Amino acid sequence: MLRSLTYNSAIKLVMGLLIFIISPGCLSIKTIPLKKLPEVQAKRYILFVHSGDSSWYVNNFQVKDSIIKGTIYKKAGSISKSHLVNIYVGPVEAVKIQGNQFTVSKNNVGKVDYKTANIVDILSAILLIYVITFR
């Protein structure tokens, strides 16, 4: 009898862990209008600019007079995804790089988004794992 309970508990635990691992995650992508970029600037630190096949990390960015300016960030491996704002720019020719200074017109920005944690998904996943494991 004891062996049967241990076996059932182990199967429940493995099933709960599989659901947690297989689930797509608790992050969602939030698209924002370009005019809200200065508000995001206070919470996020790095822009991840995508244009064609090229991409740049830009920090210390400012949005003034329809121009986004910043410094190209060289330490890409040390950036947390929670600090990134994705900006999609087209065409590539719209991006101006002089030394380590980055400049692009707001008119060439097609989309701005960032990843955010969805608290409802996180709590649902925890509850589901609890129910499967301990019931």
pLDDT in tens, 46-102: 889 999 899 999 988 888 888 999 999 877 677 777 778 899 998 999 999 999 999
Residue 93 has a pLDDT of 92
pLDDT at 120 over 90: no
pTM: 0.67
β 84-89/67-72 pair status: unpaired
Average pLDDT of 117-122? Answer: 70
In this predicted model, what pLDDT tens digit does every residue of 2-51 receive, in sequence order? 455 577 777 777 776 766 665 556 677 888 888 887 776 666 678 899 99
pLDDT at 129 over 90: no
Residue 99 has a pLDDT of 93
Residue 31 has a pLDDT of 85
Residue 104 has a pLDDT of 94
**What are the C-alpha distances in Å from 52 to residues 6, 9, 76, 92, 133?**
55, 51, 19, 6, 46
Closest CA to 46 of 90, 9, 83: 83
Residue 135 has a pLDDT of 62
Distance CA 18, CA 118 (A): 20
Closest CA to 95 of 54, 42, 36: 54
Residue 36 has a pLDDT of 80
Element (H, E) at 75: none
